[in-house]
């Protein structure tokens, strides 16, 4: 029944979505759901992200542009040496890695052979309001389709020095969230799947997904194609992984060989201040660092640990220099 229900929605132009289970049937040929493809990447064992993200990565992507570009979530292809686009019938098309943008989280691939897939039309994520009905679609045979609702629009701060304005949170969660497409009732792409979260609604135990809004792509699209990344200059990067706890920023680990590690920052240190100003949330912490200048600037921190309070100055770096990015960027 669930599959027939979703197919009826698609046949009607996605006009009357209501939450339901994933479809067990294939969508009509003309459906924008067919623009969702698979992405597979192989990452060297010595890559910076290999330990935590693995060396064999698979997820989804969405065909955009003229039909040879695939938009996905960046961690699937970050530091990859080889990438492929997966299509129905066990077809695998080699692809170049065109771009990886750390600030948004987007990744971009270019197929090296024709995909034969109609690109999806891009929507406007700014128009997506809470309680809007959407489809979260991951690659599969058949596609993994989860009707959902937008339950929150808010900034998302990740522990890896990542801050995404106006992130899209949906519920119920899609199990194959990595690179999944968020599609509106009109059949347009408004987000790319990034994470599964326990609090899709702030301070409420409701599981869901976080999607990167498609509006974040437009300002950087030309730079992604030309330069392989978005910002012309790099923000200062410390190489700390941290979390909020009762109004404190606690370092959980540091990037080996990164700026914070070289300056003596250690796991379990509490970051109390940046340049003499108190910080209590990850968003405050990141914005305080980035306000000091570009990559390479000195970042004064006040740290608290069982041994006492100590000042540390970190010479920030460029995270792109630390990552071992592929030569096709």
Q: Give the pLDDT score at 25.
A: 53
- Shared domain for 42 and 165, answered yes or no, is yes
> Quick one: residue 166, left, alpha or beta (phi over 0 = left, psi -120 to 50 = alpha)?
left
Selection from 166, 106, 108, 139 nearest residue 26 by Cα: 139
Whether residue 301 is contained in a domain is answered as yes
- Shared domain for 227 and 245, answered yes or no, is no
**What does the chain come to in residues?**
329
d(CA 178, CA 106): 11
Selection from 135, 185, 180 nearest residue 19 by Cα: 135
CATH of the domain at 259: 2.30.42.10
Whether residue 222 is contained in a domain is answered as yes
Q: How far is CA 224 from CA 30, 98, 229, in A?
A: 29, 7, 5
Q: Is the dihedral of CA 211, 52, 39, 173 positive or negative?
A: negative
- Shared domain for 90 and 186, answered yes or no, is yes
Contact in structure between 58 and 37 (CB atoms under 8 Å): no
- Shared domain for 5 and 134, answered yes or no, is yes
Whether residue 313 is contained in a domain is answered as yes
Q: Which domain holds residue 296?
A: 240-322
Q: How far is CA 288 from CA 269, 274, 282, in A?
A: 18, 6, 10
- Shared domain for 216 and 74, answered yes or no, is yes
Q: Tokens representing 178?
A: 């990595």
Q: Tokens representing 144?
A: 């993994």
- Give me the tens of pLDDT residue by residue for the chain, a chain 329 residues long: 344 434 444 544 444 444 444 444 556 566 899 999 999 999 999 999 999 999 999 999 999 999 899 999 999 999 999 999 999 999 999 999 999 999 999 999 999 999 999 999 999 999 999 999 999 999 998 999 999 999 999 999 999 999 999 999 999 999 999 999 999 999 999 999 999 999 999 888 999 999 999 999 999 999 999 999 997 789 999 999 999 999 999 999 999 999 999 999 999 999 999 999 999 999 999 999 999 999 999 999 999 999 999 999 999 999 999 999 865 65
- Shared domain for 316 and 276, answered yes or no, is yes
**Full-prediction pTM beyond 0.85?**
yes
User: Which of 180, 213, 232 corresponds to the end of one domain?
Assistant: 232
Whether residue 14 is contained in a domain is answered as yes
Q: How far is CA 320 from CA 2, 100, 233, 238, 239, in A?
A: 44, 10, 11, 12, 11
């Amino acid at each position: 029944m669930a599959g027939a229900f979703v197919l009826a929605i698609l046949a009607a132009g996605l006009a009357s979505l209501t939450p339901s289970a994933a479809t067990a049937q294939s969508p009509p040929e003309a459906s924008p759901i067919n623009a969702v493809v698979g992405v597979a990447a192989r990452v060297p064992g010595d890559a910076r992200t290999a330990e935590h993200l693995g060396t064999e990565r698979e997820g989804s992507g969405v065909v955009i542009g003229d039909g040879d570009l695939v938009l996905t979530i960046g961690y699937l292809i970050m530091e990859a040496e080889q990438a492929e686009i997966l299509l129905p019938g066990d077809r695998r098309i080699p692809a170049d890695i065109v771009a990886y943008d750390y600030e948004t989280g987007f990744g971009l691939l270019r197929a090296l052979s024709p995909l034969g897939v109609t690109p999806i039309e891009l929507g406007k994520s700014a128009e997506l309001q809470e309680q809007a009905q959407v489809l979260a679609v991951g690659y599969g045979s058949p596609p993994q389709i989860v009707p959902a609702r937008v339950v929150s629009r808010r900034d998302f701060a990740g522990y890896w020095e990542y801050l995404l304005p106006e992130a899209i949170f949906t519920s119920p969660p899609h199990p194959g969230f990595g690179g999944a497409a968020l599609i509106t009732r009109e059949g347009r792409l408004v987000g790319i799947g990034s994470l599964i979260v326990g609090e899709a609604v702030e301070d409420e135990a409701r599981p869901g997904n976080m999607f990167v809004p498609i509006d974040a792509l437009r300002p950087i699209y030309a730079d992604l194609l030309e330069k392989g990344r978005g910002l012309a200059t790099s923000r200062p990067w410390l190489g700390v992984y941290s979390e909020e706890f009762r109004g404190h920023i606690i370092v959980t680990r540091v990037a080996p060989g990164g700026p914070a590690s070289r300056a003596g920052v250690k796991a379990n240190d509490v970051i109390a201040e940046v340049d003499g100003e108190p910080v209590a949330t990850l968003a405050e912490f990141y914005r305080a660092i980035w306000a000091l200048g570009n990559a390479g600037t000195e970042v004064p921190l006040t740290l608290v640990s069982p041994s006492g309070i100590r000042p540390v100055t970190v010479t920030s770096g460029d995270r792109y220099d630390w990552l071992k990015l592929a030569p096709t960027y």
